Structure 1
Amino acid sequence: MIEIQQNDDDNNLSKEGVLDTIGATPLINLRRYLGTADVQLYAKMEAFNPGGSAKDRPARAMIEEALESGTINKNTTIIESTSGNMGIGLAQACCYYGLPLICVVDPHAQEQNIAIMKAYGAVIERVERPLQGAFLKARLARVMELLNQFPDSFWPNQYSNEKNPLAHENGTIQEIDEALNGELDYLFVATSSTGTARGCQEYLKKRGRSTKVIAVDAEGSVLFGGLAGRRRIPGLGAGHVPALAAGQEFDDVKRVSDLDCVVGCRRMVKYEAILVGGSAGGVLEAIRSMIPELRTKVSAAILHDSGTRYLDTIYSDQWVERELGCSAEELQARIEQPSSVGVTTVQKEPRFTPHLMEQTTI
């Protein structure tokens, strides 16, 4: 068993502001989730960032780089497309630096996330219908319109900004690597803009690590040659291949369903007493599906956010039955059964409203 190296020196120092508390998130040994002692699994808990997610890291990096380079000033309006967490990270950073922010969201954005953005002072722009079958395209089109409308404006563009993966290269994975003394066989990362996975892989390659990076993507995502389809979990997968994802290859890609994500979240609560967000549930179930390959190995998972923002969806039995067609009884049974990731199952058709049939977003 690896003994995690915890560096508490920085944590004991006073901080200059809330943004200085970003990073140095806990790495927790999950001893119960997999139901076996043969796999060492560590979870990087990004919900401990002040804005509540891994997106705090690139949000801060993109805003501070733009300020330092003179690209923006306090009169510049920041405009970004977001499904939730990036909007919150940017809203916090912009609030701290006194910058106006417009977040472009779509119908799949969690209402609680929108409320948090507003609390930080962000203005919310909503697109109601997809463009060419994708809400991301509709959001980006609205971003372009707003950039033309506000002459002094700036688009951080999380989908192509190199500061996105660099924030994880210089932060998230470095913290994991140092805590585990470089002894990491597998790293599991949820993908959307692919900033996190790309940054982590760059770090590992530069240091000659043999760690296998497993990208966890959503069924219905077009990343890595996938086919577009119906999705319900925000922050996982994409309806349009972003610039950061172009040409990216990982050791393996595991596709998870919306129901896999729910099962992972519920199982995490039951066995580890931790509320995690939707993409984290998918990552955890992808890992559980690979137990035979992971025996005697050391694995780490980056869990992007907390489940507290999904109480009305993932943690609601009524929502799961209405949107995913899975009853509370069936869900409880799935939590105890082997992971169904990669296994085709016949599910009854869920009930949904017409506009929710349209493909969700990055």
Structure 2
Amino acid sequence: MKYYNNILETIGNTPLVKINKITKDVKALVLAKVETTNPGNSVKDRMALQMIEDAEADGRLKPGGTVIEGTSGNTGMGLALACIQKGYKLICVLSDKQSKEKMDILRAVGAEVHVCPTNVEPDDPRSYYSVSKRLATEVPNSWYVNQYDNPSNTKAHYLTTGPEIWEQTEGKITHFVVGVGTGGTISGVGKYLKEKNPDIKIWGIDTYGSVFKKYHETGIFDENEIYPYITEGIGEDILPKNVNFDVIDKFEKVTDKDAAVYQRRLAKEEGIFVGNSAGSAIKGILQLKDELKEDDVVVVLFHDHGSRYVGKMFNDDWMRDRGFLDEEKVCAEDLIKDHAGKHLVTVSTSDPVSQAILLMNQYKISQIPVVENNKFVGSLTDNKLFSALLEKPELKELPVKHVMEAAFPEVNGNTPIEEISKLFSHDTQAVIVNYGEDQRHIITRQDMIKAIC
């Protein structure tokens, strides 16, 4: 009989799969290392087990202990499988940008889950880095994994992932491409492959809002590079010790939109149902295709499974809300589809200017139509209002009618985009669309930009 003694023995030996349609214009052979066949459906199973076994060996993790880790979800799943088999409790700390599916899966395998805000500094006590460290000091008999700086992360990929790729390609690999987060995968695989053949190129995929690319190219940790982004699993606002910049030849940034769009394309065109970072990785190859030759063999690693993103990147409404769906927009109704269900914020001619300012701040909008007797009779825009208040601060207590500008132009729902675009000018910041039964909404410059892009 052939069987495994426990689920941990099934980790590794993942397949290489040729990418056909998406990379048809790439001269090189592109092979995907599909890590979803690991029992936890991600590459993180490899390093999770390695980190726990190394901690057991040197006494950092003791029998009956509690494992604590800050994770985007996948490492937590790998740790959970190991903890189940080895009898440890697990506490996972996630940022709130991670998908609900990831959180639910971790709870399903027995992990205690703490959710922290994303948009805070790493050293903020609310960040998932800080909360993880704090819990490790508060929970008795606990061990903080710290996948970012734990050398066992890189070690796992040096011992398993790298050798598998070398063997599967019979040493013919010329490029290894992977999204970079903690840095363990690219550093471990990169080190192994470079030892086998120093000419192999190691390309890291980064995201906008992350520090990796600029730091690699200039040695400067630029905080101005840091801002919130949607892409999951790659990019950082810190420099993890596991990122070995010496083995990485190049970083390429991919946008949030492209990561999501190409993740969906992998499912629909290749039948490979994988995660968000896979979309980034395959798009990165397309962006760098001019650097590839016919004899090149490119291995791109796909980190995790698409099931963890069904409520986000694989949800049309979620994609549409962020302007990620490339739907053809030909008329006024198409332009407001993303926000037609929301309340149209207006003020009356008799409302005080201060009320308009309050609404603009509350709803984070730059313009408000002014109504009287259910008709549009004027408008307010933040730039003109700002100039007026600078000159006469007392205006904020006066009725809106004293500072309002001309009413925004009005169109019907079937008006073509080409005609609408002609209505925008320096003095016209928005257009009103009338559609349905007494339904009205506003088309902003941002709506026009989304349609064009």
TM-score range for the pair, normalised by the shorter chain length: 0.7 to 0.9
Question: Structure 1 residues 140 and 88 mapped into 2: Cα distance closer, same or farther (>3 Å)?
Answer: same
Is the CA contact 1:31–1:37 (under 8 Å) kept in the aligned structure 2?
no
Q: Deviations over 1:158-182 (max 9, x none)?
A: 0111110111111112111101111
Match status 1:16 vs 2:10: no
Distance in 1 of aligned mates of 2:20 and 2:123: 40
Q: Given the alignment, which residue of 52, 67, 77 partners 2:66?
A: 77
Deviation at 1:209, TM superposition (A): 3.9
1:158-173 maps to which residues of 2 (within 5 A)? Answer: 158-173=147-162
Distance in 1 of aligned mates of 2:252 and 2:281: 9
Q: Deviations over 1:216-270 (max 9, x none)?
A: 0111112242611221122111122222226545111100111111121122123
Opposite residue 217 of structure 1, the aligned amino acid is D
Question: Structure 1 residues 216 and 59 mapped into 2: Cα distance closer, same or farther (>3 Å)?
Answer: same
Which residue in 2 is equivalent to 1:157? Answer: 146
Distance in 2 of aligned mates of 1:320 and 1:123: 30
Is the CA contact 1:137–1:240 (under 8 Å) kept in the aligned structure 2?
no
Distance in 1 of aligned mates of 2:269 and 2:99: 26
Which residue in 2 is equivalent to 1:273? Answer: 271
Which residue in 1 is equivalent to 2:257? Answer: 259
Matched residue count: 323
Deviation at 1:35, TM superposition (A): 1.8
Which residue in 1 is equivalent to 2:286? Answer: 288
Deviation at 1:41, TM superposition (A): 0.6
Question: Structure 1 residues 191 and 154 mapped into 2: Cα distance closer, same or farther (>3 Å)?
Answer: same
Distance in 2 of aligned mates of 1:41 and 1:135: 41
Match status 1:180 vs 2:166: no
Match status 1:110 vs 2:109: no
Distance in 2 of aligned mates of 1:195 and 1:185: 20
Question: Structure 1 residues 115 and 241 mapped into 2: Cα distance closer, same or farther (>3 Å)?
Answer: same
Deviation at 1:148, TM superposition (A): 1.6
Which residue in 1 is equivalent to 2:227? Answer: 229
Is the CA contact 1:77–1:101 (under 8 Å) kept in the aligned structure 2?
yes
- Greater mean alpha carbon deviation, residues 71-80 or residues 135-144: 135-144
Q: Deviations over 1:152-210 (max 9, x none)?
A: 11011101111101111111121111011111111101100111000011101222342
TM-score normalised over the length of structure 1? 0.83
TM-score normalised over the length of structure 2? 0.67
Match status 1:316 vs 2:315: yes
Q: Which has the higher strand share?
A: 2
Is the CA contact 1:135–1:239 (under 8 Å) kept in the aligned structure 2?
no
Which residue in 2 is equivalent to 1:6? Answer: none
1:1-362 maps to which residues of 2 (within 5 A)? Answer: 13-36=2-25, 38-128=27-117, 130-132=119-121, 138-224=127-213, 225=215, 227-245=225-243, 247-248=245-246, 250-296=248-294, 297-323=296-322, 325-329=323-327, 348=446
> Of the two, which has the highest radius of gyration?
2
Which residue in 1 is equivalent to 2:387? Answer: none
Root-mean-square deviation (CA, aligned residues, Å) is 2.3
Deviation at 1:68, TM superposition (A): 2.6
Distance in 1 of aligned mates of 2:282 and 2:231: 15
Question: Structure 1 residues 180 and 315 mapped into 2: Cα distance closer, same or farther (>3 Å)?
Answer: same
Is the CA contact 1:134–1:239 (under 8 Å) kept in the aligned structure 2?
no
Distance in 1 of aligned mates of 2:179 and 2:230: 15
Partner of 1:157: helix, strand, or coil?
coil
Distance in 1 of aligned mates of 2:239 and 2:125: 10
Is the CA contact 1:136–1:240 (under 8 Å) kept in the aligned structure 2?
no
Is the CA contact 1:194–1:244 (under 8 Å) kept in the aligned structure 2?
yes
Question: Structure 1 residues 134 and 85 mapped into 2: Cα distance closer, same or farther (>3 Å)?
Answer: farther
Question: Structure 1 residues 209 and 349 mapped into 2: Cα distance closer, same or farther (>3 Å)?
Answer: farther
Is the CA contact 1:136–1:239 (under 8 Å) kept in the aligned structure 2?
no
Deviation at 1:74, TM superposition (A): 2.7
Opposite residue 277 of structure 2, the aligned amino acid is S
Which residue in 2 is equivalent to 1:357? Answer: none
Is the CA contact 2:122–2:130 (under 8 Å) kept in the aligned structure 1?
no
Distance in 1 of aligned mates of 2:446 and 2:285: 26
Opposite residue 298 of structure 1, the aligned amino acid is V
Distance in 2 of aligned mates of 1:131 and 1:139: 9
> 5+ residue gaps in structure 2?
216-221, 330-444, 449-453
Question: Structure 1 residues 63 and 293 mapped into 2: Cα distance closer, same or farther (>3 Å)?
Answer: same
Is the CA contact 2:186–2:204 (under 8 Å) kept in the aligned structure 1?
yes
Which residue in 2 is equivalent to 1:355? Answer: none
Partner of 1:329: helix, strand, or coil?
coil
Question: Structure 1 residues 134 and 265 mapped into 2: Cα distance closer, same or farther (>3 Å)?
Answer: farther
Greater relative CO (CA pairs within 8 A, separation 6+): 1
Q: Identity percentage over the alignment?
A: 32
Deviation at 1:128, TM superposition (A): 3.3
